[in-house]
Amino acid sequence: MLVFPLRNSREMGKSIAKAAKAKLGNLKSDNFPDGEFYIRFLDSVKGKEIILVQSMSPNPNDSLLELYWAGITAKQLGAEKVIGVAPYLAYMRQDKVFNSGEALSNHIMAHLLNTSLDKIVTVDPHLHRIRNLAELFHIERKKITANNDIANYISKKFSAKNTVIIGPDSESSQWAAVIAEKIGFESSIFEKQRHSARNVKVNVVKELAWKGKNVVIVDDIISSGHTMIEAIKTVRKKEAKSVHCICIHGIFAENAHAKMLKAGANTITSCNTIAHKSNKIDLAKTIVENW
């Protein structure tokens, strides 16, 4: 087995190779002056199982296309099996035609990977209206969850006696409520109305004894940060002692990290599916043990 980290996942690729006790492969990935890709495998892939590691943030379009390019090239070079590990799989949130004429982007992303890979492995893809990766991928697929790693992280840092866990919207209950249940913490899942990409409102459906407690808000993705910011402001008004945000995929678009700190977050922690200074939960071992 050979592991080839692509541009967005140099560190994660190395960690995955180490956890899998596999060799790191050499791949030259460059751009011509006009921006076109130049991809060259410097190690032979013929007859081998190869792992291409590529997170799809930042630059979801380029990173998706780089994975597609590398997958097709590896197949043409005679690789026996081409596995794409996309710790963060982009385009999963456009899972419906919300307005007539729109692209159904999750299907287009999946079409590219169905034709360039033999297997796709990803961590907590945003499954909302699509409930199962089989609805998108006809190649082998594996969905891995970060829930155990996040639960371990929270239980090492906080105590169930003075800490509650929040999910900022109903979809987040598959992480927030499941994690809280695993480690015996109280939890509450908010309701969210999203009026636009940057305009969201959250409502508290179930009240807890917030005053003087540590509040840990858990969501799958932080993108613009507005979901988290509204949740932070809501629990701050309820006189929480401290507020901690944890996500799996930290995109942190448009300076979201700084905005969340300004809104009152004491700490912001992400898993390493997307390289960022907030990465504190390493999922390489979990990925390798479960793929």
Active-site positions read 192
How far is it, in rounded angstroms, from Cα 16 to Cα 55? 13
Task: Specify the stretch interacting with ligand R5P by CB under 6 A; choose among 45-53, 73-81, 225-233, 267-275.
Answer: 225-233
Binding mask 185-214 for ligand R5P (x = CB under 6 A): ---------------x--------------
Contact yes or no for 144/124 (Cβ under 8 A) = yes
- How far is residue 160 from each of residues 97, 163, 216, measured CA to CA in Å? 42, 5, 11
Determine which helix (DSSP H) or strand (DSSP E) holds 108, and give its type and residue range.
helix 105-116
- DSSP string for 38-63: EEEESS--TT-EEEEE----SSHHHH
Strand partners, 4: 52
Is the bond into 5 cis (omega within 30 degrees of 0)? no
- Site membership for ligand R5P, residue 221 (CB under 6 A): yes
How far is it, in rounded angstroms, from Cα 113 to Cα 133? 12
- Site membership for ligand R5P, residue 273 (CB under 6 A): no
**Apex CA 232: angle with CA 231 and CA 234, to 5°?**
65
Closer to ligand R5P by Cβ: residue 14 or 128: 128
- Site membership for ligand R5P, residue 127 (CB under 6 A): no
- Site membership for ligand R5P, residue 71 (CB under 6 A): no
How far is it, in rounded angstroms, from Cα 37 to Cα 105? 22
**In the set 219, 232, 271, 281, which binds ligand R5P (CB under 6 A)?**
219
Task: Specify the stretch interacting with ligand R5P by CB under 6 A; choose among 47-55, 109-117, 158-166, 169-177.
Answer: 169-177
Closer to ligand R5P by Cβ: residue 118 or 219: 219
**In the set 12, 222, 235, 268, which binds ligand R5P (CB under 6 A)?**
222
- Site membership for ligand R5P, residue 147 (CB under 6 A): no
**In the set 147, 172, 278, 286, which binds ligand R5P (CB under 6 A)?**
172
Task: Specify the stretch interacting with ligand R5P by CB under 6 A; choose among 6-14, 158-166, 215-223, 269-277.
Answer: 215-223
- Site membership for ligand R5P, residue 225 (CB under 6 A): yes
Q: How far is the CB of 198 from ligand R5P (least distance, A)?
A: 7
Closer to ligand R5P by Cβ: residue 3 or 90: 90
Task: Specify the stretch interacting with ligand R5P by CB under 6 A; choose among 25-33, 62-70, 165-173, 203-211.
Answer: 165-173
Closer to ligand R5P by Cβ: residue 61 or 159: 61
**185 contact partners, CB below 8 Å, separation of at least 6:** 154, 158, 160, 163, 164, 165, 179, 216
Task: Specify the stretch interacting with ligand R5P by CB under 6 A; choose among 70-78, 84-92, 166-174, 276-284.
Answer: 166-174
- How far is residue 128 from each of residues 78, 83, 92, 133, measured CA to CA in Å? 36, 24, 9, 11
Closest of 5, 247, 290 to residue 126, by C-alpha: 247
**In the set 226, 244, 257, 276, which binds ligand R5P (CB under 6 A)?**
226
Binding footprint of ligand R5P on the chain (CB under 6 A): 169, 171-172, 200, 219-227
